[in-house]
Amino acid sequence: MTEAKVPDMQRHVSMVILCALALAVIGVLIQVAVDSPMAQVPYQRAARQAIYVVAAALLAFGASLIGYRRAVNLAPWGLYATWALLAVLLLPGMPRRGGAVRWIDLGPFNMQPSELAKLALVLFIPYLAEKRGDRFRTLRGGLLPALGWVGFTCFLVLLEPDLGQTVLLFILAAVLLVVNGVKLQYFLLLISLGVPGLIAFMGDRWDYVRARIEGFLGEGSYQVRQGLIFFAEGGPLGTGVGEGRSQLFVPEIHNDFALVAVAEQAGFFGSLCVVALFLGLCWSGFRIAMAARDRAGFTVAFGASFMIALQAAINISVVTGSVPPKGMSIPFLSFGGSSLLMLGIAVGLLLSVAKGEEEPALASAAQLQGAAS
């Protein structure tokens, strides 16, 4: 990297930090706005979200110090730990919510292992690509072994059952495999062979999926219809923070439909600011990835940025009624510790990729100055 590119990289680092911090603060404000001051413990959810933000910031700092190289080297153990946590969800007696088992109750904190699965795959795929070298680009040496690891992870998430997170994990893994040299046509062939098996495995769950699609093509779900009403009620500038009523009518507004609270209380321009923050974070993340000095750094930075961008795009599309409804949180804004902590680690690893590029560039700049003097 040339000396001229060092300030450019520093701008991207600053952009990632500022956008992530701004989104996290907005997430806390959303919980304040939709929480009830009349509850037994006033603003309990907002206070917990603030604690999660601090913990995520500490994890981001720690991950940036540990560095993506060490994280990639430890990736297999991270994936094994993820499998173990996903397997715990299958034990008899685990509490079900909405017909699914997705959280491990740890007392004051509920862990969602599928959140860890996304980060585990972002780190494991560059590990596997480096280990197999040129063979990774072939069908037998790369794609089939990779799909074994990825497929088993997706299978455990599907057993919860959570079709949406399964699809997200597979898309994330597929994109990372393709950018590491696996041929796209291999995926198309295997997907065409695997879809019938997936339909057969899901069984009666497809009736539930079909009902959601039919509802989308018809009047839409209750949540989406109510959300769109408050999108319109917010107008250009919104009703003001704490002045909304959407929390009384929109289920899960503190989580999957957090953007509705933004649209109502901060208006259309407030929603655009949130979208702009996501675009700024992900754009700078992709630029950091393109400047990475090795394939692992590129994959980690690209994967972390794409993970955030994909999940945000899906959530925004669902909330605005653009795609069939699927329960999926929006990064940084939705309530939840598992998501925020994993996002903190992802941002820290992204920054460590940028840090790995700046250090040799700054050393080169110092050498040039010394030679000139």
The answer to whether residue 368 scores a pLDDT higher than 50 is no
Which of these ranges, 85-94, 204-213, 280-289, has the smallest mean pLDDT? 204-213
Confidence at residue 82, expressed as pLDDT on a 0 to 100 scale: 95
SS3 100: strand
Range of weakest confidence among 20-34, 166-180, 185-199: 185-199
User: Which of the four pLDDT bands, split at 50, 70 and 90, describes residue 20?
Assistant: very high
Under the banding of pLDDT at 50, 70 and 90, the label for residue 196 is low
Q: What would the mean pLDDT of 211-236 be, rounded to a whole number?
A: 76
Domain layout of the chain by residue ranges: 5-366
Task: Read off the pLDDT of each residue in 247-270 and give the average, rounded to a whole number.
Answer: 89
Task: Give the pLDDT of residue 199.
Answer: 64
Lowest mean pLDDT among 155-164, 343-352, 353-362: 353-362
- The per-residue pLDDT for range 311-326, each reduced to its tens digit, is 999 999 989 888 777 7
pLDDT score at 62: 95
Rounded to an integer, the average pLDDT of 152-161 is 87
What is the DSSP secondary-structure string of 165-186? HHHHHHHHHHHHHHHTT--HHH
d(CA 82, CA 68): 18
Averaged pLDDT for residues 353-364: 58
pLDDT value at residue 43: 80
Interior angle at CA 62, CA 59 and CA 68, nearest 5: 105
Residue 99: its pLDDT value, please?
A: 66
**pTM (2 decimals)?**
0.88
pLDDT at 263: 92
The pLDDT value recorded for residue 186 is 73
**Between residues 103 and 189, the one the model is more confident about:** 103
- Is residue 126 within 8 A of residue 180, CB to CB? The reply is yes
Whole-angstrom distance, CA of residue 38 vs CA of residue 9? 47
Mean pLDDT, the chain, integer: 83
Q: Are 82 and 117 in contact (CB under 8 A)?
A: yes
> 3-class SS at 320?
coil
Residues 6+ apart with CB under 8 A from 249: 226, 229, 230
**Span 229-241, average pLDDT:** 87
**What pLDDT does 6 receive?**
61
- pLDDT recorded at residue 364: 37
Residue of higher predicted confidence among 348 and 211: 348
Q: Containing H/E element for 104?
A: strand 104-105
